[in-house]
Structure 1
């Protein structure tokens, strides 16, 4: 499937902001990580598109063995600096540098919508053990909270992103059930769940967090600064966020599917 120029620009935007991404992006709800790994989790887990290791650290806390794969060298350097004990490899979802059947789970944090799933789904199936788990996790701002809903009006969807299941989830789900030529679909029916989550922020650190969104990173700098200034002014005018620390309400959404057993 051909990748649009806009999608490519967004996907490749993070390396230039790797330090800010590591400093400001949130981790994932522990309950969401446990659910992603399945009811009988295996011990060998691949964090695919691992970025700076936000999900990697959560997987370590869950007590599993983790190998991280990330295509962007600047993001991978941050991961290696933060988590030197993790085996971290250069690679992509479309070309995973691991042997066949070598992991019990493949998980991805805020990254699976960047994959070319036509190529990635069979490659993920290749490295998964039979009945292994594939799971994508996404952190979404909870705009059921009024002041969080106001962020989108202040900064635009490029800063906040959609609250509903992203279109990327639907594309990923569809790709899981596309059978390779001459064979059965590699994954069973996908399940979805959401879990409450939160991140302690100040107004300035939340502005910095929003500045690491792909839609913001690719903007012309004057427009980007104007959007962030609008968010800063909005936060200064809300009693919940004007002074000191507050909790940014989020939801961690999970999409999970099992590798079909090979017969």
Structure 2
């Protein structure tokens, strides 16, 4: 993605902050625990925290968390939902924390937006020696037949290049972390953990509507794409009536600061 296009996508979420807060899923607790298990302590930065989906999971797990988010509307939603959490304006490229002040930096569905050439040294600066950097992504479990069909019906804007397990592994195999050959970080590790979200056909369509590719789409094209998604869900016995569980995986990419 070209820099201007990347910026347009990454800055699209604020206009849909309330919908993002309502419809996006949380993260599997086992995935967050795996991300943190190698950290030397429990001071955690949620970087690119959005509306606080990952922040809330970290709070539930009892760690000391500070959230940093660049978009004012997203940050406002986070502060509304989690008023007791320290939440600061800032970005991966300019983190408003002192050097060596956290034991782990986690990013939920955000690391692919970082300019790692700038963010890598900045993350290394705020991490204590031996600290952990981990990206977490909720991906659709396309090993389930109807989910694979949803991925086809949604198209690349609704179900993008990191939204299924095989695609996630390929897309994150070094692209979104500092290079392992650099002295700051070790060798990346990948892992996946079962997860799920209770949805209806309408709420699942609303969830997919909060993806960046959908948010930047012209309104008529977006409405048509959501119409195809709703028609697909209405035609599947698994999703046509009432609530169902959307099968997902929380996928984690983890690396340790040397």
Kept in 1, the 8 Å contact 2:66–2:87? The answer is yes
| Alignment deviations for residues 129-174 of structure 1 (CA, whole Å, 9 cap, x no partner) | 110111100000111111111112212121122412252553123x
Which deviates the most, 121-130 or 155-164?
155-164
Question: What is the aligned partner in structure 1 of residue 155 from structure 2?
Answer: 156
2:212 equivalent to 1:209: no
Kept in 2, the 8 Å contact 1:113–1:169? The answer is no
Superposition deviation, residue 40 in structure 1: 5.3
Question: What is the aligned partner in structure 1 of residue 62 from structure 2?
Answer: 63
SS at match of 1:97: coil
Give the alignment of 1:40-55 within 5 angstroms: 42-55=41-54
| Alignment deviations for residues 69-98 of structure 1 (CA, whole Å, 9 cap, x no partner) | 000000000000000000000000000000
Superposition deviation, residue 114 in structure 1: 0.1
Question: What is the aligned partner in structure 1 of residue 180 from structure 2?
Answer: 177
- Aligned equivalents of 2:179, 2:102: Cα separation in 1: 18
Give the alignment of 1:117-196 within 5 angstroms: 117-162=116-161, 163=164, 164-165=167-168, 167-173=171-177, 175-177=178-180, 179=182, 185-196=183-194
Superposition deviation, residue 8 in structure 1: 1.0
Question: What is the aligned partner in structure 1 of residue 197 from structure 2?
Answer: 199
TM-score by length of 1: 0.93
SS at match of 2:68: strand
Number of equivalenced pairs:
253
- Stretches of structure 2 that go unaligned for 5 or more consecutive residues are none
Q: 1:90 to 1:61 in 2, by over 3 A?
A: same
- Aligned equivalents of 1:3, 1:215: Cα separation in 2: 14
Question: What is the aligned partner in structure 2 of residue 78 from structure 1?
Answer: 77
TM-score by length of 2: 0.95
- Aligned equivalents of 1:169, 1:252: Cα separation in 2: 16
- Aligned equivalents of 2:57, 2:41: Cα separation in 1: 15
